């Protein structure tokens, strides 16, 4: 019984973290800030739920599958947030007013100027993208 | 010589894939292992990935300390982000900071970026692979001290990772430049 | 007694998870851009995963564990595909990493820092563009050959077989040139897309009226 209560407490904590993620999604005013809120508590919440399951069924089979789930999440969540962040930064989804200091803008401007020059030069020759 | 060594490395990759397959099936039996080997070879042939350059060095003590520090930071900072979401005061402005890493290896840059993304407070927005610069967005960072603290965190992550599995060149770079924040702080510390 | 405690905890956890899913649903509806909706979908998926995990822990069944794996994969693949769709850099410019900050091709993967010692790589773009063969028309030879045996020494600017680094993966068995050269045939839609002009390009100042930051004095969203 005590194990059940421990599991329930862990799941409750996972629920609290999920709620924190959702509230952050609601309250933060910027796409990048919302990404913080969505991705971070999710990891810890999942970890707690996985520990809760592992407590109840300490068999090797469940533990390995849970390890797989957690490590997949650990690996894929940063990649997904990075891609969303990069897309959001480069396109118009960014509120510059919310940034205190921005050290990336200059590098991105230069990269885009270079790509525009590339496109112009390539447009005079064979173009892969034309139908 | 190259063929032999890369064949061994290929075996390492296949071994890990077979391990993953066996773990998915939740049972270690001959059938699973054989099908795992076949599938691992098929997958590595069909989905060709550029090889990962390992440094050939793995310090278990530092790796363990990195793991423990990571777990500790994960818990502390998740609670912090949750607190930001719950408290009535609005969250402040963020900032995008640039961190010039001392390492030049692809794998280490990726690991630093992954860790910085998982530990709440910073997410990786972009990276400049040629120059070894990471750009991160930091939450609630609207004063100079917080910007410096965020940068120090990233450099600390990099230091832990280099000690755990950096190459010798990275270790040398670490020795040459143990405190990249010194000039930013103006030597005031 | 402990049964009551257990029941209360379970009910509380379920209420919290349901609330988080509903709040994320609000963001899906309201979110001013498609990326907001995508990360809100991620949060819904995470709540579902936590709920499923809780159900498994407390009702005595573990046959739903593969469902967790599938949900995790769905969340990841969905996020990545939507963000690739939104960002402009999906149109392939061969010879350079798409959307990269420096002119950096896939063949220069293990670029040592010593060779890039100027500030922010202005002269880097010059040298490396010269190093690219047949700029833009075809893949450089080293990329078409496959990426392997890249030296990790201080002299390596392009691919030079100085030493054999410790690599994990294949040597050039299959020819990745065949796969890679299929990619530059980008969808013609990408050509017409300017900066972030997907179907949901987002407002200039993507703001849903809830300002939780300092008041902006000058909106620079139109700068890009």
Taking the domains of chain C in order of start, what are their residue ranges?
2-86, 90-166
Which DSSP string corresponds to B67-86?
A: HHHHHHHHHHHHHHHHHHHH
Query: A86 vs B66, which has greater pLDDT?
Result: B66
Identify whether the C-beta of residue C8 lies closer than 8 Å to the C-beta of residue A9: no
Separation between Cα atoms, residue C147 and residue C109, nearest integer Å: 9
Best B48, B56, B169 residue to mutate vs chain C (most C CBs within 10 Å): B48
Percentage of residues in chain C with pLDDT exceeding 90? 19
Q: Is the pLDDT of residue B73 over 70?
A: yes
Chains in contact with chain A (at least 3 beta-carbon pairs closer than 8 A): B, C
Confidence of residue C88 (pLDDT cuts 50, 70, 90): low
Question: Side-chain half-sphere of A41: how many Cα atoms within 13 Å?
Answer: 30
Identify whether the C-beta of residue B141 lies closer than 8 Å to the C-beta of residue A100: yes
Separation between Cα atoms, residue B108 and residue B115, nearest integer Å: 10
Separation between Cα atoms, residue B10 and residue A108, nearest integer Å: 37
Q: Is the pLDDT of residue A58 over 90?
A: no
| Average pLDDT value for chain A | 81
Identify whether the C-beta of residue B33 lies closer than 8 Å to the C-beta of residue B10: no
pLDDT in tens, C207-218: 444 444 444 444
Identify whether the C-beta of residue C209 lies closer than 8 Å to the C-beta of residue C191: no
pLDDT of C112 reads 46
Q: What DSSP state is assigned to residue C104?
A: -
Q: Is the pLDDT of residue C18 over 90?
A: yes
Identify whether the C-beta of residue A17 lies closer than 8 Å to the C-beta of residue C20: no
Residue in B closest to C108 by C-alpha: B130
Separation between Cα atoms, residue B49 and residue B45, nearest integer Å: 9
Which chain C residues are Cβ-neighbours of A87 within 8 angstroms?
A: 35, 83-84, 86-87, 196
Confidence of residue B188 (pLDDT cuts 50, 70, 90): very low
Confidence of residue C103 (pLDDT cuts 50, 70, 90): low
What's the CA angle centered on C32, arms C30 and C33, to 5 degrees? 120
B-C contacts at Cβ under 8 angstroms:
121
Query: C178 vs C34, which has greater pLDDT?
Result: C34
Cβ distance of C106 and B3 shorter than 8 Å: no
pLDDT in tens, B100-111: 888 878 888 888
Contacts of C21 (CB under 8 A, 6+ apart): A22, C43, C44, C47, C48
Identify whether the C-beta of residue C104 lies closer than 8 Å to the C-beta of residue C158: no
pLDDT of A11 reads 92
Q: Which helix (H) or strand (E) holds B176?
A: helix B168-176
pLDDT of B81 reads 82
pLDDT of A102 reads 73
Cβ distance of B106 and C106 shorter than 8 Å: no
Identify whether the C-beta of residue B38 lies closer than 8 Å to the C-beta of residue C207: no
Q: Is the pLDDT of residue C74 over 60?
A: yes
pLDDT of C48 reads 93
Identify whether the C-beta of residue C184 lies closer than 8 Å to the C-beta of residue C92: yes
B26 Cα to chain C: minimum distance (Å): 11
C55 Cα to chain B: minimum distance (Å): 21
Instruction: For residue C185, give Cα distances in angstroms to A119, A129, B124, C118.
Output: 15, 6, 30, 35
Cβ distance of B23 and A100 shorter than 8 Å: no
B142 Cα to chain A: minimum distance (Å): 5
Q: Is the pLDDT of residue B90 over 80?
A: no
Q: In what order do the strands lie in the sheet with B122-128?
A: A99-102, B94-100, B133-138, B122-128
Closest Cβ–Cβ partner in C23, C186, C218 for A25: C23
Cβ distance of C170 and B45 shorter than 8 Å: yes
Q: Is the pLDDT of residue C183 over 60?
A: no
Separation between Cα atoms, residue C97 and residue A43, nearest integer Å: 30
pLDDT of A96 reads 61
Cβ distance of A60 and B26 shorter than 8 Å: yes
Q: Which of A98-107, B141-150, C73-82 bottoms out in mean pLDDT, i.e. has the lowest?
A: A98-107
Question: Side-chain half-sphere of B89: how many Cα atoms within 13 Å?
Answer: 7
Q: Is the pLDDT of residue B161 over 70?
A: yes
Confidence of residue A50 (pLDDT cuts 50, 70, 90): very high
Q: Is the pLDDT of residue C13 over 90?
A: yes
Query: A61 vs B180, which has greater pLDDT?
Result: A61
Percentage of residues in chain C with pLDDT exceeding 70? 39
Max mean pLDDT range (A22-26, A89-93, C168-172): A22-26
pLDDT of C70 reads 92
A98 Cα to chain C: minimum distance (Å): 6
Separation between Cα atoms, residue B98 and residue B180, nearest integer Å: 12
pLDDT of C199 reads 46
> What b/e readout covers A90-108, taking b as 16+ CB neighbours within 10 angstroms?
bbbbbbbbbbbbbbbbebb
């Amino acid at each position: 019984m005590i194990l059940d209560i421990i599991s329930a407490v862990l799941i409750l904590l996972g629920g609290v973290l999920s709620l924190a993620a959702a509230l952050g999604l609601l309250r933060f005013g910027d796409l990048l800030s919302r990404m913080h809120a969505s991705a971070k508590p999710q990891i810890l919440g999942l970890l707690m739920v996985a520990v809760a399951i592992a407590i109840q069924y300490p068999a090797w089979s469940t533990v390995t599958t849970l390890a797989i789930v957690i490590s997949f999440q650990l690996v894929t969540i940063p990649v997904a947030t990075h891609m969303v962040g990069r897309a959001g930064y480069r396109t118009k989804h960014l509120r510059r007013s919310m940034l205190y200091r921005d050290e990336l803008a200059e590098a991105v401007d230069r990269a885009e100027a270079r790509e525009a020059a590339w496109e112009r030069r390539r447009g005079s020759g064979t173009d892969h993208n034309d139908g | 010589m190259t063929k032999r060594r890369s064949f061994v490395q290929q075996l390492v990759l296949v071994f890990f894939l077979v391990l993953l397959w066996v773990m998915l099936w939740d049972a270690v039996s001959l059938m699973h292992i054989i099908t795992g080997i076949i599938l691992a070879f098929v997958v590595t042939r069909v989905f060709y990935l550029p090889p990962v350059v390992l440094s050939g060095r793995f310090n278990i003590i530092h790796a363990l300390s990195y793991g423990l520090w990571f777990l500790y930071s994960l818990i502390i900072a998740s609670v912090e982000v949750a607190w930001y979401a719950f408290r009535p005061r609005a969250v402040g402005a963020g900032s995008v900071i640039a961190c010039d890493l001392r390492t030049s290896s692809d794998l280490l840059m990726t690991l630093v970026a992954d860790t910085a993304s998982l530990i709440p407070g910073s997410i990786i927005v972009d990276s400049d692979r040629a120059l070894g610069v990471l750009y991160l967005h930091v939450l609630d960072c609207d004063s100079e001290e917080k910007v410096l603290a965020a940068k120090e965190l990233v450099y600390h992550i990099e230091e832990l990772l280099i000690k755990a599995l950096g190459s010798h060149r990275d270790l040398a770079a670490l020795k040459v430049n143990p405190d990249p924040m010194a000039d930013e702080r103006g030597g005031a510390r | 007694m402990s049964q009551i405690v257990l029941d209360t905890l379970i009910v509380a956890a379920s209420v919290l998870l349901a609330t988080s899913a509903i709040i994320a649903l609000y963001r899906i509806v309201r979110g001013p851009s498609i990326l907001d909706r995508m990360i809100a979908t991620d949060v819904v998926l995470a709540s579902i995963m936590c709920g499923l995990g809780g159900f498994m822990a407390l009702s005595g069944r573990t046959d739903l564990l593969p469902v967790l794996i599938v949900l995790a994969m769905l969340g990841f693949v969905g996020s990545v595909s939507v963000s690739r769709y939104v960002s402009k850099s999906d149109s392939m410019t061969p010879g350079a990493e798409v959307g990269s900050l420096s002119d950096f091709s896939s063949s220069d993967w293990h670029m040592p820092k010593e060779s890039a010692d100027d500030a922010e790589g202005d002269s880097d773009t010059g040298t490396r563009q010269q190093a690219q063969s047949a700029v833009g028309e075809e893949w450089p030879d080293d990329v078409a050959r496959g990426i392997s045996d890249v030296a990790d020494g201080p002299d390596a600017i392009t691919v030079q077989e100085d030493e054999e680094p410790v690599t994990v993966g294949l040597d050039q068995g299959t020819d990745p040139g065949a796969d890679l050269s299929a990619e530059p045939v980008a969808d013609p839609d990408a050509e017409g897309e300017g900066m972030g002009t997907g179907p949901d390009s987002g407002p200039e100042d993507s703001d849903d009226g809830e300002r939780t930051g300092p008041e902006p004095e000058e909106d620079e969203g139109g700068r890009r």
